[in-house]
Amino acid sequence: MHISLSAVDYAVIVIYFAFVIGVGWSLKRSMKGSADFLMSGRSLPAWITGLAFISANLGAQEVIGMAASGAKYGIMTSHFYWIGAIPAMVFLGLFMLPFYYGSKARSVPEYLKLRFDEKTRGFNAATFAIMTVFSSGISMHALASLLRLLLGWDYNACIAIAAAIVLVYIFLGGLSSAIYNEVLQFCLIVAGFAPLVFLGLKDVGGWSALQEKLIPVATSQGYAAGTWTQSWSHLGTANANPMGVEWFGLVMGLGFVLSFGYWCTDFLVVQRALAAKSLSAARRTPLIAAIPKMFFPLLVILPGMIVIALPHVGGHSVLPLTADGTPDYNMSIPTLLARYLPSGLLGVGLTALIASFMSGMAGNVTAFNTVWTYDLYQSYMAPGRSDRHYFWMGHVATVAGVLLGIATAYLASAFNNIMDLLQLVFGFVNAPLFATFLLGMFWKRATGHGAFFGLLGGTLAAAVFHGLSLAAGATPGLKGAWIAPDFVFRSEMAQSFYVAIVAWSTCFILTVLISLATRRNKTDAELHGLVYSLTPRPSEEGEPWYRRPVVVGSIVLAVTLLLNFLFR
Amino acid sequence: MNFDLRLPIGALFTLYGALLVSYGAFGDKAQYARSLGLNVNLIWGLVLLAFGLTMLIARARGSKRP
């Protein structure tokens, strides 16, 4: 598949690049110390941090991967939003941000240090820093591969340009620059993809025609007629749906463990809320983010469903084929871009795609430079230096983060297996995290030793369970069962949900047991503002209803429930 | 921080809107066969233009507030 651009499309792309750098440039003067550079001086309004909150997460995996899943699994993919994101985002806003923001911790690892101890922070900070570098590299690699495939652009040039632009705007304006650009990217993604979805849906003949055209897609693979357009009706058993997972694994694995683990503890997103100007604004950040987030399936999943419903030409799907002859689902959105958008709008759609990759990269770089500077450099390598020094180090870490990201991108293009292995290991590390935070925030008896060894145990349990489980049809090894294939799941997704459930439960139980067996290492006074029972409730007196987190959160949950019901 | 995001958002979308509208009005019309016969550059360009101008107007009014 090849798309050719005309002058107007290039103009759209170049204008966008000029704007993101311009935003960085105009913020240069307000960068006066490390807190401005790494934390935006805690000065931003909630609507900005809120839109940045979803945009930072809206990387390559999101746009390309969700459309691919839309084609592969249909509307069930929305569970990644309605079950796998919104409840956790509301929980973060209502219950967790008072501790993150109120404790004045500058990062998520620093909260762990205040609440537990140094080793728990060190473990979390180090693994997180490595993960962000790899994620930004993977984003870069995915962007360059896609542009090479679609436009015939040079891979090296794409990496160099994308890295240079992200580096320049973060170097100039720090976290503020990343956040403001993420809002710009959010607007652009909506502006670029909305006409695409409209044209695709119109071509198919509207929603009811789409439902009808997806019936043969489902029945030809041996599923019930409505499988692609009903999100809950086919979750009774793992055999009844293409995801290969049943309701319990989905709700507990995705909806609870993975979703809360990501949205409530990943510094990449939490950092956006911490940049808000007040506790109230910080708490509203994920709630404001949840409103567009719940409608995002329209923009990113629907294209995949449309692509798979389009009439087959000569027996072939409209998607290009991969090397082994199966449709390349990752090309869903690019296929629609090439099919429907004329020059002009094509430039906007392509810019939206590029913007989504760049926001994912920049989010990782800004999270990396903060954790590196405050949690690793200041804590272990050079404590007690002047703020000037850490301000300087923040800039150095930005450059280093981008350079390491570039190295990772090339590593990813050369050794696919190493990347798969790393992502697997990161999964093991992340799965138990939410148990540690939950106990830390709501049980004052949880101790530093309990948290640290609970986390290690949970990570180990994830690895062991992965070694004992396998998805049906997969080869033992990197995919699991490297000990023995004792548990066989219908799909890799189901396997990963259960790995997460095992890791979380192990971490939870171990942390409780070890905490009870060890002495508390923090007094009640030290835990003030860090634990629920020892923190005064934030007051919402005198605020209008739309600024009260509890009211907004309840509305968000009610609408999500309604969406689940409508597309059940 | 005296930075108002409504300015760059407004400017970017006004520029994009103007570009798409003029391209839709004066550019090659044959290519709209692929967008189901709709001159989407003109239509969506107007939407983006309206969004951009709204942001710019909001900024011009909002900056008077203390």
Tokens found for residue A465:
């369970």
Give A235's DSSP letter.
-
Tokens found for residue A432:
């138990």
Give A233's DSSP letter.
T
- Selected residue of A3, A339, A345 to mutate for chain B interface (largest B Cβ count, 10 A): A345
Helix (H) or strand (E) run with residue A440 in it: helix A433-442
Residue keyed to tokens 């925030």 = A441
In angstroms, the CA B26 to CA A252 distance is 56
Name residues whose C-beta falls within 8 Å of residue A13's C-beta, 6 or more positions apart in sequence: A347, A350, A351, A354
In angstroms, the CA A309 to CA A305 distance is 6
A389 touches A382 (CB < 8 A): yes
The answer to whether residue B66 scores a pLDDT higher than 50 is: no
DSSP string for residues in B7-59:
HHHHHHHHHHHHHHHHHHHHS-SGGGGTTTT--HHHHHHHHHHHHHHHHHHHH
**Partner residue facing B5 (CB), from A15, A41, A180:** A180
Rg of chain A in Å (alpha carbons): 23
In angstroms, the CA A525 to CA A522 distance is 8
Q: What are phi and psi of A45, to 5 degrees?
A: -70, 160
The answer to whether residue B6 scores a pLDDT higher than 60 is: yes
Q: Which residues of B touch A16 (CB under 8 A)?
A: 12
Q: Three-state SS for A282?
A: helix
In angstroms, the CA A295 to CA A144 distance is 28
Tokens found for residue A129:
């820093």
Give the nearest chain B residue to A193 (CA atoms): B44
Amino acid making up residue A135: S
Q: Three-state SS for A424?
A: helix
Give the nearest chain A residue to B35 (CA atoms): A340
Tokens found for residue B31:
């290519």
Q: Which residues of A touch B9 (CB under 8 A)?
A: 183-184, 187
Residue keyed to tokens 């070890």 = A514
Q: Which residues of B touch A19 (CB under 8 A)?
A: 8, 11-12
Q: Smallest Cα–Cα separation from A511: which of A561, A456, A550?
A: A456
Tell which phi-psi region holds residue A384, choosing left (phi > 0), alpha (psi between -120 and 50) or beta: left
Q: Smallest Cα–Cα separation from A178: which of A408, A404, A398, A400?
A: A398
Residue B36, min C-alpha distance to chain A (Å) = 7
In angstroms, the CA A109 to CA A379 distance is 11
Tokens found for residue A226:
């409505």
Q: Mean pLDDT for each consecutive 10-residue tract of chain A (568 residues)?
A: 87 95 92 91 92 85 86 92 94 93 92 94 94 90 90 94 95 94 93 94 92 89 89 89 91 92 93 94 95 92 92 71 83 91 94 89 94 94 93 96 94 82 85 94 94 96 94 86 89 91 96 95 90 83 84 93 91
A121 touches A368 (CB < 8 A): no
Provide the pLDDT for residue A57: 83
In angstroms, the CA A284 to CA A107 distance is 18
Tokens found for residue B37:
């016969």
Q: Smallest Cα–Cα separation from A304: which of A330, A269, A286?
A: A330
In angstroms, the CA A296 to CA A69 distance is 14
- Say if the Cβ atoms of A191 and B40 lie within 8 Å: no
Tokens found for residue A246:
């049943």
- Average pLDDT value for residue range B33-41: 91
**Partner residue facing A344 (CB), from B2, B13, B23:** B23
> Hey, is the C-beta of B46 within 8 angstroms of any chain A C-beta?
no
Q: What are phi and psi of A316, to 5 degrees?
A: -105, 145
In angstroms, the CA B20 to CA B18 distance is 6
**Partner residue facing B16 (CB), from A12, A43, A180:** A12
Q: Three-state SS for A447?
A: coil
In angstroms, the CA A419 to CA A417 distance is 5
What is the CB neighbour count within 10 angstroms for residue A207? 11
Helix (H) or strand (E) run with residue A470 in it: strand A469-471
- Say if the Cβ atoms of A184 and B15 lie within 8 Å: no
Provide the pLDDT for residue B46: 96
In angstroms, the CA A97 to CA A553 distance is 13
**Partner residue facing B5 (CB), from A12, A16, A183:** A183
Range list of H helices, A256-344: 259-265, 267-274, 279-300, 302-309, 332-340
Q: Note the ipTM here.
A: 0.93
Helix (H) or strand (E) run with residue A428 in it: helix A416-430
Q: Smallest Cα–Cα separation from A498: which of A456, A467, A462?
A: A462
Provide the pLDDT for residue A535: 85
B2 pLDDT band (50/70/90 cuts)? low
Tokens found for residue A346:
């094509």
A97 touches A535 (CB < 8 A): no
* Residue A477 β-bridge partners: A480
DSSP string for residues in A331-364:
GHHHHHHHHHPPTTHHHHHHHHHHHHHHHHHHHH
Name residues whose C-beta falls within 8 Å of residue A291's C-beta, 6 or more positions apart in sequence: A556
- Say if the Cβ atoms of B13 and A341 lie within 8 Å: no
- For chain A, the residues whose C-beta falls within 8 A of a C-beta of chain B are 8, 11-12, 15-16, 19, 22-23, 26-27, 30, 41, 43, 48, 176, 180, 183-184, 187-188, 191, 195, 199, 202-203, 339-345, 348
A497 touches A252 (CB < 8 A): yes
Buried/exposed A117-153: b ≥16 CB within 10 Å, e otherwise: bebbbbbbbbbbbbbbbbbbbbbbbbbbbbbebbeee
Distance of CA B55 to the CA centre of its chain: 10
Q: Three-state SS for A469?
A: strand
Tokens found for residue A131:
């993960």
Range list of H helices, A152-252: 155-204, 207-219, 247-248
